[in-house]
């Protein structure tokens, strides 16, 4: 766990999706080569490099991520919102959440987010990256405060499942990045994305 005064930061891997767009379980995809960890283990190991405690948030157990605690969604069918809500309630403190389908995310980018989080103004409930050209926030690469839990509960009660709508902008601490810095946020949703990711890796 990362200490920042009284703050304890728990890493949460979001792995509860159905992988319907990919057509098969993408947590088991080996983007970097068959001898390298699959996407789930890669993401767990990545978070473990910046957080001493890492949990996997999912609808069902993912036994191949050995050594990592599984946190089952309390309410199914709510997407990432349900996973984060469950994780906040279990952690009783801030959580660094990371989607399991980001093969180019690295510890340097996460450390950058953590350093920015340590400078958060009073009243911040959500620390995240913001894409300068589009204004898009990276809600699946974010730190959520425990105090944001009521907002997640209210969203679920109201049937709001779009993660970017949970925390109002005035309670958000956003770190800008440009399109030239966007590779770590490339996510693998479709077979074409997987093919592109492998081409990029081959070209590096």
Q: Which residues are annotated as a binding site for GTP?
A: 14-16, 26, 73, 101
Give the pairing type, strands 137-144 and 95-99: antiparallel
How far are the Cα atoms of 15, 28, 33, 56, 184 from residue 116, in angstroms, in the given order? 25, 32, 33, 24, 17
Torsion of CA 57, 65, 63, 76, to 10 degrees: 10
CB atoms within 10 A of CB 135: 9
Q: How far apart are CA 110 and CA 44, in angstroms?
A: 13
CB atoms within 10 A of CB 80: 21
Residue ranges for the known binding site for Mg(2+) are 101
Residue ranges for the known binding site are 14-16, 26, 73, 101
Cβ–Cβ < 8 Å for 129, 179:
no
∠19-23-24 over CA atoms, to 5°?
70
Cβ–Cβ < 8 Å for 46, 98:
yes
- Name the residue among 83, 105, 82, 92 with its Cα closest to residue 160: 82
């Amino acid at each position: 766990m990362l200490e920042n005064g009284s703050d304890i930061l728990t890493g949460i891997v979001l792995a509860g999706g159905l992988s319907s767009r990919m057509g098969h379980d993408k947590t088991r995809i080996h983007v970097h080569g068959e001898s390298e960890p699959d996407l789930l283990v890669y993401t767990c190991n990545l978070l473990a490099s910046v957080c001493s405690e890492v949990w996997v948030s999912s609808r069902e157990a993912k036994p191949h991520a050995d050594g990592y605690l599984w946190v089952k969604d309390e309410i199914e069918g709510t997407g990432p919102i349900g996973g984060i809500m469950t994780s906040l309630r279990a952690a009783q403190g801030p959580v660094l959440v990371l989607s399991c389908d980001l093969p180019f995310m690295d510890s340097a980018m996460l450390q950058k987010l953590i350093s920015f989080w340590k400078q958060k103004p009073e009243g911040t409930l959500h620390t995240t990256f913001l894409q300068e050209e589009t204004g898009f926030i990276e809600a699946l690469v974010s730190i959520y405060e425990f105090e944001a839990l009521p907002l997640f509960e209210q969203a679920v009660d109201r049937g709001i499942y779009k993660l970017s709508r949970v925390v109002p902008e005035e309670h958000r601490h956003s770190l800008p990045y440009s399109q030239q810095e966007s590779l770590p946020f490339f996510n693998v949703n479709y077979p074409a994305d997987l093919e592109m990711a492998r081409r990029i890796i081959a070209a590096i």
